[in-house]
Amino acid sequence: MRRALMVLVALAAITALAFWFAETGGTIEVQVGELWIGVGLPIAVLVLVGGFLLAHGVLAALAAMRRIPARRRAARADRRRSDGDAAVTRALVALAAGTPDAARVEVRRARHLLGDTPQTLLLAAEAARLAGREDMAADAFKALADRPDARFLGLRGLLRQAMQRQDWEAAHRLAKEADAAQPGAAWLREERQLLALRTHDWREALALSPPGGPRAALALAAAEQESDPSRAAELEKQAFAADPEFAPAAIAHAKRLGTGSARRARAVLEQAWVAAPHPDIGVAWIAGTPAPLARVKAVEDLVHRNADHPESRLLMARVALDAGLTGRARAELEALVAADAADRRAFMLLAELEEAEHGDTADARAAQARWLRGAANAPGAPVWRCAACGAEHVGWKAECTSCGEVGRIGWSAPGSLPAG
């Protein structure tokens, strides 16, 4: 409505101006030598306006003609862009469908129409990988890495290839370059941790471990690699703090402390025993006590807070039997049997106890046979077992030699897997 009013006002102004010129009258004279031209003022104004409009029209037509090639180029570019985008979409569909030949055809078409953009280069690399052409994929990833705006994408692809072919030196270099290109990337942190695990760089793996990771196992493994005693001691302390129930960490930490403070070492072992009794902790506890009767007293000091635990009873029975306290040993072992908590070790100790009490007699042999039959039917002793694959190990290790998982080996009874 406002535009219509403005047009009406303009028309009224032009009409009023035309009438004014008509009523005003007047003549415009032009003389060049003997040539004289006289034109009335209204006619002259009309001629000037008409000339202006004609010139403007001619110039506008020329400008439009000059813009025709650019418009055609823009139209062709729009068509190429549209066709290229359609080819990119078809390539994505082919990749999702797992058809590498179709994907490569569409990627070639997209690169022809759009050029080597980050999107087309990434599609080319993925299509080549799907087709098993890692060399072609590497070329595409290198082209991406050479572009400042897509460097991280290229380095990510090259890093993934290096790790697949287990080229750890190249993987380390590419990981550093990727970290410089995109600091703090969560994906890169995970890849660097995986790289550290694969190369057994336990200290790096510990630094990159997530909150829920096997930090105790990684810290102890890093301590075993550390040549500096002070750094090793700090890592052992960190392992024990991360998981007081992890017996190898407690034993290593206590052993390190024992060189300077036997009291602190024993406090660590006692804390670990209360958290999770383990036979190796018992061995470490009595290692410095050679006298059999003194060992009984030492074990009493260790197990007094959880004396009914099967490991506490087994340890007490072992040292009592070695000290000749057969009554004490029998009381501990028969308590295990009565509580249905005896494993094969308890029955074997009972068989040994019969011989210690009665010697090589018929009654002793009959009792031993009874306990040995019980041992055959009893559950086996706990062992170090991988929670990922169930493989058993003689001792604790950071990495399972069977499946390669790290931090999954734990102490567990037969028929169960350790936590983790």
Residue 145 lies in a domain: yes
Domain's final residue, options 127, 157, 187: 157
3-state secondary structure 361-404: CHHHHHHHHHHHHHHHHCCCCCEEEECCCCCEECCCCCECCCCC
Across 66-80, 305-319, 346-360, which has the greatest mean pLDDT?
A: 305-319
Q: What is the C-alpha to C-alpha distance for residues 308 and 241, in angstroms, rounded to an integer?
A: 26
Which of 247, 321, 309, 311 lies closest to 284, judged by CA?
Answer: 247
pLDDT band at 410 (very low <50, low <70, confident <90, very high): very high
Q: Is the pLDDT of residue 306 over 90?
A: yes
Q: Which amino acid is at 275?
A: A
Residue 17 lies in a domain: no
Q: Is the pLDDT of residue 380 over 70?
A: yes
Q: Which pair of structure tokens corresponds to residue 346?
A: 């308890």
**Do β-strands 27-32 and 35-40 pair in parallel, antiparallel, or remain unpaired?**
antiparallel
Domain's final residue, options 107, 133, 157: 157
Q: Which pair of structure tokens corresponds to residue 147?
A: 């572009």
Residue 288 lies in a domain: no
Q: At what angle do helices 326-338 and 310-322 cross, to 10 degrees?
A: 160
Look at the alpha carbons of 56, 59, 65, 66 in this order and tell me if their dihedral is positive or negative: negative
Span 151-171, average pLDDT: 91
Residue 327 lies in a domain: no
Q: What domain range includes position 412?
A: 382-420
Degrees to nearest 5, angle at CA 142 with 97 and 130: 20
Residue bearing the bigger pLDDT, 6 or 266: 266
The model carries a pTM of 0.72
Residue 412 lies in a domain: yes
Q: Is the pLDDT of residue 325 over 60?
A: yes
Q: Tell me 406's DSSP state.
A: B
Q: Which amino acid is at 247?
A: A
Residue 368 lies in a domain: no
Q: Is the pLDDT of residue 179 over 80?
A: yes
Domain's final residue, options 157, 178, 203: 157
pLDDT for the residue 43: 67
pLDDT for the residue 2: 78
Total domains present in the chain: 2
Q: Which amino acid is at 130?
A: L
In whole angstroms, how large is the CA radius of gyration of the chain?
45
The per-residue pLDDT for range 203-224, each reduced to its tens digit, is 999 999 888 889 999 999 999 9
Residue bearing the bigger pLDDT, 85 or 279: 279
The H-or-E segment that residue 324 falls in is none
Would you call 376 exposed, middle or buried from its count of C-beta atoms within 10 A (0-12, 13-18, 19+)? exposed
Q: Is the pLDDT of residue 17 over 80?
A: no
- Which of 37-46, 49-58, 181-190 is predicted least confidently? 37-46
pLDDT band at 330 (very low <50, low <70, confident <90, very high): very high
pLDDT for the residue 236: 95
Look at the alpha carbons of 45, 46, 47, 53 in this order and tell me if their dihedral is positive or negative: positive
Q: Is the pLDDT of residue 417 over 60?
A: no
Residue 222 lies in a domain: no
Residue 128 lies in a domain: yes
DSSP-assigned states of every residue in 251-292: HHHHHHHHTT-HHHHHHHHHHHHHHS--HHHHHHHHTT--SH
